[in-house]
Amino acid sequence: MATTADGRDELNRLLGGYRVTQLLYVAARLGIADLVAHGAMSAAEIADAAGSHVDATSRFLAALADLGVLARSDGDTYVLTAMGSLLRDGQRGGLRAAALSYGSPWWWSAFGQLEASVRTGQTGFELVYGRPLFPWLADHPDAADVFNANMAAMIDGDVVLACGFPFAAVSHLVDVGGGRGQFARAFLKRFPAARASVIDRPDVVAGVLGECDAGIRDRLTVHGASFFNRLPVTGDAYLLKDILHDWDDDNAVRILQRCADAARPHGQIILAERLLNDADFDDAVRGVDITMLALTGGRERTRTDYTRLLTRAGLVPGGEYRAGGGYSLIAAHPKPDESADATPLDG
């Protein structure tokens, strides 16, 4: 589409973004990328395999082709594009989990309250569902599965492990809020003499050990617990990956204090977060910041912001390591004196 000088066409394109989100969501739900992955199919064949309405599916596939997810080969026949392959189930580096999250009614409806969030500071999610996201997910396992899969896919564990932080020196890694243990498994695979533990809500970690290979399972422990309470395991490094951005400052400090308590006297805490004011990824990080406003009540932060939180929690900030996708790792360690300058907080 040609862009007019006043930006009208571009703004119209942006206003139609909701259609794009739903097209990709429905494509992921119907498994279109997996159906077409092995060769050209007609709209009728795709509809039959997906169990969908033939005429509606034909119109839907044409719209996906306009996006570049599919390509028309002959008439009403479609093949998968390289971009479309990112919607395949199990595709490494794929975005199917993101599509299933962003188009889900529970995610979508929170953004429907964005005006109220901007006016009041409340999350759109709580305005719709009457309680915060994470307790709601604990009672809705299907939605939790989608959410956890998206969190796991956001950053490749191997990319984090290659960022320059000395993970090889870590004998026991504790992944705090570690979801289904994807990063812990990557860590154990890379370092066969190390051990790891995963801490997350009981509903999140249930069955994790059963998903692990035998060579990993005997070096991994799983703990269903809240990171707002005393941590149930002691290690020499505590990883918080995509955790603090879900929470406001006071709650972030509480989480850090629990890690500091467990890490004393010689352990360390590792934050893996996107940073605001990153010249290469700032637009993307600000987009995630709006997601935090709508869904969790958290926020994205600058390096200075994280330094302030670490200091409040009685930790000494250390080095920073760049990982892929706009992520940075920030290392910290407890002050030698346990009573040093941590801001006391209840809980």
Cα dihedral 253, 257, 260, 262 sign: negative
Contact indicator for 333, 262 with CB cutoff of 8 Å:
no
| 240/328 Cα distance (integer angstroms) | 12
| 162/176 Cα distance (integer angstroms) | 20
Q: Is 269 helix (H, G, I), strand (E, B) or coil?
A: strand
- What six digits make up the tokens of 212? 């692990």
Closest listed residue to residue 184, CA positions, set 211, 144, 203: 211
Please give the torsion angle defined by the CA atoms of residues 281, 287, 293 and 299, in that order, rounded to the nearest 10 degrees: 0
Helix residue ranges per DSSP H, 264-344:
282-295, 303-312
Cα dihedral 182, 155, 306, 131 sign: negative
Contact indicator for 124, 111 with CB cutoff of 8 Å:
yes
| 322/304 Cα distance (integer angstroms) | 16
Of 38, 53, 223, 245, which one is the catalytic site residue? 245
Closest listed residue to residue 259, CA positions, set 228, 224, 298, 299: 228
Q: Is 125 helix (H, G, I), strand (E, B) or coil?
A: helix
Give the chain's length. Answer: 347
Which amino acid type is present at position 103? G
| 180/278 Cα distance (integer angstroms) | 29
Q: Is 197 left (phi over 0), alpha (psi -120 to 50) or beta?
A: beta
Q: State yes or no: is 140 an active-site residue.
A: no
- What six digits make up the tokens of 204? 């999140």
Residue 316 backbone dihedrals phi, psi, to 5 degrees = -105, 110
| 208/217 Cα distance (integer angstroms) | 9
**Positions marked active-site:** 245
